[in-house]
Structure 1
Amino acid sequence: MHNIATVPDFYPIIVDLNCVPSMLGLLCHDNSDISVSVIDLIQELTDVDTLNESEEGAESLIQALIDNQIFSLMIAAIERLDESVKEEADGVHNALAIIENIVEFRPTVCKEVAEAGFMTWLIKKLKVKVPFDANKLYASEILSILLQNEPENRKMIGELGAIDSMLQQLAYYKRHDPNQQEESEYMENLFNSMCSLLLERENRDRFLQGEGLQLMNLMLREKKKSRTGALRVLDHAISGVDGANNSAKFVDILGLRTIFPLFMKTPKKSKRGGVTADEHEEHVVSIIASLFKNCTVGNNAGKQRERLLAKFTENDHEKVDRLLELHIKYYRKVEEADQRLEREMRRSKEKLDDDEVYVRRLQDGLFVLQYVDYIILEICCCGASTVKQRVLQILNLRGGTLKTVRDTVREYAGNLGDEEDDHEKKLEQEYLLNLVDKF
């Protein structure tokens, strides 16, 4: 049968001959060697490079596997395998590869995979206190894939109470750096999964109750490799209207003492662990902007807001100086990006539509500039009068103007409320335009 995997054009024939139910029937054979051999065969048949060679063959095989309940049969098979035996551990690895292959070929099956019991198995697998190995890494990868684009899976994992166990897995990296490259990938996969989970409102409350903020805060202070992932998770946890409770809590647990040193000085490359200086600054600025948006007088967070504003008057307004340094840096980046875009469009004589141009500009620094300028407006309009004087003084010295700040925030507001029914975006848009007028 392994020879068939080299000729995917023959896949429709093995489907017509009813080979698929026969193969899947052997997955739960009493003899584990047979189960492992069948898993190995299916892994070869579904290899993505092989599938891409014949669209018709791939379609027929994948459909037949799904129709014959491959996911639930696979879960039943791997639950019987003993991973302390090398051959059986390889069988589990190949089973995970089959899931990855099918999901890559047909992303819409993510929900089916989770419902067949894979989500529960993955969580259990990551929880087990065994030494780190290749299967644990692969399980974390599959989990990250299943959560990425499927809201139902994200809700399911929250309901299974798995956010707590994921925080426990991450807690190890608060004081320990991963020992090898593979373990670093494992840690990153866990952080990616946590970021996906925080896209759902219910999961943010579970994250808050599970003391996820306290853990991220400690990770940021420990200066280990986990700091970068913790920064991303924190950004996801407090962004948007759903992040209001997390924002208030973050200020209460003295998170400002953690985030502002990272704002004042971007860590050296070795301490940032794989992210660029720009990515680091983007997360930090985004977190501070989210705190301003969510700690408003209206939602009983007046005290937190006062503490946030007070930060910008400390130590002779050093944070205002840093904010304007970032404004000038990203304003120049956006100017250069605009010139590049213009040259590109002239050369190719192709007209990009407004949305494409805007997305390109966001990627080239406009995203950070919008947040920096929004924070400038907040501290000038709501903070001490000395703050605005300092802002004007630095802008005059560096040849900048208030108009550039106003224009950036106006453009930001203009691109918020496109969808008629998005009430929250409309409110944010009004708030930003009021700030500009007040400024």
Structure 2
Amino acid sequence: SKQQPAIIENNNYNINKSEQHNSDNNYIAFLESQGIELMMRCLRERVHSGHGALRILTFCLGNQNKKNLNIETAQLCNGNNKNNYAACEIFVDAGGFKLLFPLLMGRSTSIPKPASCSDAGKKLLNNKKKGSKLSKLAKRQKKAKKEWMEQITQNTIYILYYLLQYINSGDNGDDSKMSSCLEIKNRLLAKFLESDFEKSDRLVELLLRYDTQSRIAEKKFYISDEAEYAENHSEELEVELMAFHEKLKGGGDLFHRVGSLLAFVSGGSKRCHAHILEQLRLKGSGIGVVKAAVSELINILEDGLQKSHLEKLLAVL
């Protein structure tokens, strides 16, 4: 198949993730062998492999607990793993912020380019006749391009969230770790002040988008045949859990992560706080949507460091 090289490359990245998952020794060896730096280099090259490299970085920085593996579902664990924190330190020291924020902003000069043999990398076929429907191939290519960009944005959000957890871990460390985390915290906050708060604006945009998407997903479930069957054959609580699961898959989990990031930025900078409030007001919303995102995440987390850190962020708001 013409897509075989891209498929093989994606499979190789999945194998890498699987090997890290199945053995702590493999995970440590990956860090010690400069695996993070290699993935960052792939990203800088802006080639197809950068997409898979970003997935590896997401897994590596978020591999706090063996239960906490799948970024496509709710990540409800409270990992406190030294290897995870080491991965975060390596990522930041190697210039991770310079890679992340252009991806968050969707800068075309930073986005990895999909291989020309993949659907996402092919030139979109345009129909000559105006008003005519897109062919199946054109629809598939359009969908692939959209998914390519969405996955980059999603992985970037998760990495930022994991870095936030690392920063918060400094509260329970020694003086040197507290100093290191404080320095990274200040650097991260400074990023959201740059360029007339454009990164803060981006978080607000994403928060409202994922909030809408999650509500739509939940509504679609309740009017589906699956929900009707469940209501007739299951307990009410089970139906609610199924609806919540669909909400998380539809954007709710990302809504929680972006809300937590906004709470961190808003609580860490008075200027950012005032700007975020104004942007939410202009979009017909308010700080309540940020509080709702953080509160929902707190309610589904087990007791632990992650939950206590989020409770502190919520209290500041």
Provide the residue aligned with 2:297 in structure 1. 412
- Taking the aligned partners of 1:432 and 1:337, their CA distance within structure 2 comes to 25
Tell me how far 1:311 sits from its aligned partner. Answer: 0.9
Q: 1:216 aligns with which of 20, 24, 39?
A: 39
Tell me how far 1:312 sits from its aligned partner. Answer: 0.7
Provide the residue aligned with 1:248 in structure 2. 89
- Taking the aligned partners of 1:180 and 1:247, their CA distance within structure 2 comes to 37
Q: Say if 2:19 is the partner of 1:197.
A: yes
Q: Say if 2:234 is the partner of 1:234.
A: no
Tell me how far 1:345 sits from its aligned partner. Answer: 6.5
Tell me how far 1:221 sits from its aligned partner. Answer: 1.1
Q: 2:206 aligns with which of 302, 315, 326?
A: 326
Q: Say if 2:234 is the partner of 1:356.
A: no
Letter in 2 for 1:195: K
Letter in 1 for 2:280: L
- Alpha-carbon RMSD across the aligned residues, in angstroms, is 2.3
Give the 3 Å change call, closer, same or farther, for CA 347–248 of structure 1 in structure 2: closer
Structure (1/2) with the larger helix percentage: 1
Give the 3 Å change call, closer, same or farther, for CA 216–348 of structure 1 in structure 2: same
User: Structure 1: where are the runs of 5+ without partners?
Assistant: 1-178, 418-424
Give the 3 Å change call, closer, same or farther, for CA 353–184 of structure 1 in structure 2: same
Q: Say if 2:4 is the partner of 1:182.
A: yes
Which aligned pairs between 1:145-156 and structure 2 lie closer than 5 A? none
- Taking the aligned partners of 2:183 and 2:227, their CA distance within structure 1 comes to 54
Q: Note the alpha carbon deviations across 1:159-208, whole angstroms, 9 max, x for none.
A: xxxxxxxxxxxxxxxxxxxx953222221121001112233443332211
* 3-state secondary structure, aligned to 1:400: coil
Give the 3 Å change call, closer, same or farther, for CA 346–287 of structure 1 in structure 2: closer
Which aligned pairs between 1:281-300 and structure 2 lie closer than 5 A? 281-296=153-168, 297-298=170-171, 299=173, 300=177
Give the 3 Å change call, closer, same or farther, for CA 427–269 of structure 1 in structure 2: closer
User: Structure 2: where are the runs of 5+ without partners?
Assistant: 65-79, 115-119, 122-143, 232-237
Give the 3 Å change call, closer, same or farther, for CA 203–381 of structure 1 in structure 2: farther
Tell me how far 1:401 sits from its aligned partner. Answer: 1.6
Whether the aligned pair in 2 keeps the contact of 1:292 and 1:375 (CA below 8 Å) is yes
Q: Say if 2:221 is the partner of 1:341.
A: yes
Give the 3 Å change call, closer, same or farther, for CA 400–182 of structure 1 in structure 2: same
Q: 1:377 aligns with which of 231, 252, 263?
A: 263
Provide the residue aligned with 2:305 in structure 1. 427
Tell me how far 1:346 sits from its aligned partner. Answer: 9.4
Q: Say if 2:190 is the partner of 1:310.
A: yes
- Taking the aligned partners of 2:91 and 2:228, their CA distance within structure 1 comes to 48
Give the 3 Å change call, closer, same or farther, for CA 313–375 of structure 1 in structure 2: same
Q: Say if 2:102 is the partner of 1:261.
A: yes
Aligned residues: 253
- Taking the aligned partners of 1:305 and 1:415, their CA distance within structure 2 comes to 26
- Taking the aligned partners of 2:207 and 2:192, their CA distance within structure 1 comes to 15
Whether the aligned pair in 2 keeps the contact of 1:244 and 1:295 (CA below 8 Å) is no
Letter in 2 for 1:256: F
Tell me how far 1:359 sits from its aligned partner. Answer: 1.7
Q: TM-score, normalised by structure 2?
A: 0.74
Provide the residue aligned with 2:131 in structure 1. none
